[in-house]
Amino acid sequence: MAIRFWSSVTRGATIAFASLLGLGAVAHAQLKNENLLVGMPQGFKVAFNDSRNGMNMQEWVPVNETVQNWTEMVTVQVFLNRKDLDPVQFLETIEKRWAGACRGSTVTPAATGKTNGYASATMLLRCPLLASSGKPETTMMKAIKGNDSFYLVQRAVRGVPTSAQLERTKQYLDGVSVCDTRRPAHPCKM
């Protein structure tokens, strides 16, 4: 269940995807202003890409899968100029929508913290049987409140994840960050 939220704001943030992350110092020199640092998992491809109403979104799936038929998916959303959003409140709103879409769902409450000096929160949601796919689904999300924009990255498994998949998902989201070349408190280090 790819959670999609469209919001009406103006344009303005950069997403430093895997192609930049693999370049080290060269990529760092290309970064300007506030950036979401997120790498595409090895063996994944961009399966969906859209920008509308002030929100940029990409969905990544394994190379032999589609956005309609996937086993794992990473969804990256940037809500441009949405400095008003709070990570915990945002994830709690998603939790309510998730519960409405999946009877018997369970949620691990949002864990709060800081990511490179920015307020952030993560949440794990499990659905025993999603009506739209007829399969179980588990997703972990990380929300980060930047100074310029708001960022949401989710990694989902369609099916019952193994403990190794859950650990890989946690490690992946732990590596997601936001940086700002204008602010020493939020350095862009690779």
* Length of the chain, in residues: 190
> Which pLDDT score, from 0 to 100, does residue 190 have?
58
Q: Is 94 exposed, middle or buried (0-12, 13-18, 19+ CB in 10 A)?
A: buried
Does residue 111 surpass a pLDDT of 80? yes
Q: How far is 173 from 143, CA to CA, in rounded Å?
A: 10
In sequence order, the 6+-apart residues with CB closer than 8 A to the CB of 3 are: 75, 94, 97, 98, 139, 141, 154
Domain 14-177, classified CATH 3.10.180.10, yes or no:
no
Average pLDDT over residues 119-142: 92
> Which pLDDT score, from 0 to 100, does residue 38 have?
92
H or E stretch at 18: helix 18-21
pTM (2 d.p.)? 0.86
Average pLDDT over residues 96-108: 90
Q: Compare 109 and 119 and report the one with higher pLDDT.
A: 119
pLDDT-above-70 percentage for the chain: 84
Least confident of 7-16, 39-48, 49-58, 86-95: 7-16
Average pLDDT over residues 132-143: 92
Closest CA to 134 of 74, 58, 69, 75: 69
Q: How far is 80 from 99, CA to CA, in rounded Å?
A: 27
Mean confidence (pLDDT) of the chain: 84
For β-strands 14-16 and 34-37, DSSP reports them as parallel
pLDDT in tens, 8-48: 222 334 444 433 334 344 355 578 899 999 999 999 999 99
> Which pLDDT score, from 0 to 100, does residue 133 have?
84
Does residue 75 surpass a pLDDT of 80? yes
Q: How far is 82 from 185, CA to CA, in rounded Å?
A: 20
- Measured at the CA of 39, the angle between CA 38 and CA 44, to 5 degrees, comes to 135
> Which pLDDT score, from 0 to 100, does residue 8 have?
25
Does residue 156 surpass a pLDDT of 70? yes
> Which pLDDT score, from 0 to 100, does residue 101 have?
86
> Which pLDDT score, from 0 to 100, does residue 14 have?
42
Q: How far is 42 from 10, CA to CA, in rounded Å?
A: 32
Average pLDDT over residues 48-56: 93
> Which pLDDT score, from 0 to 100, does residue 27 have?
52
User: Could you tell me the two tokens for 149?
Assistant: 């924009």
> Which pLDDT score, from 0 to 100, does residue 28 have?
53
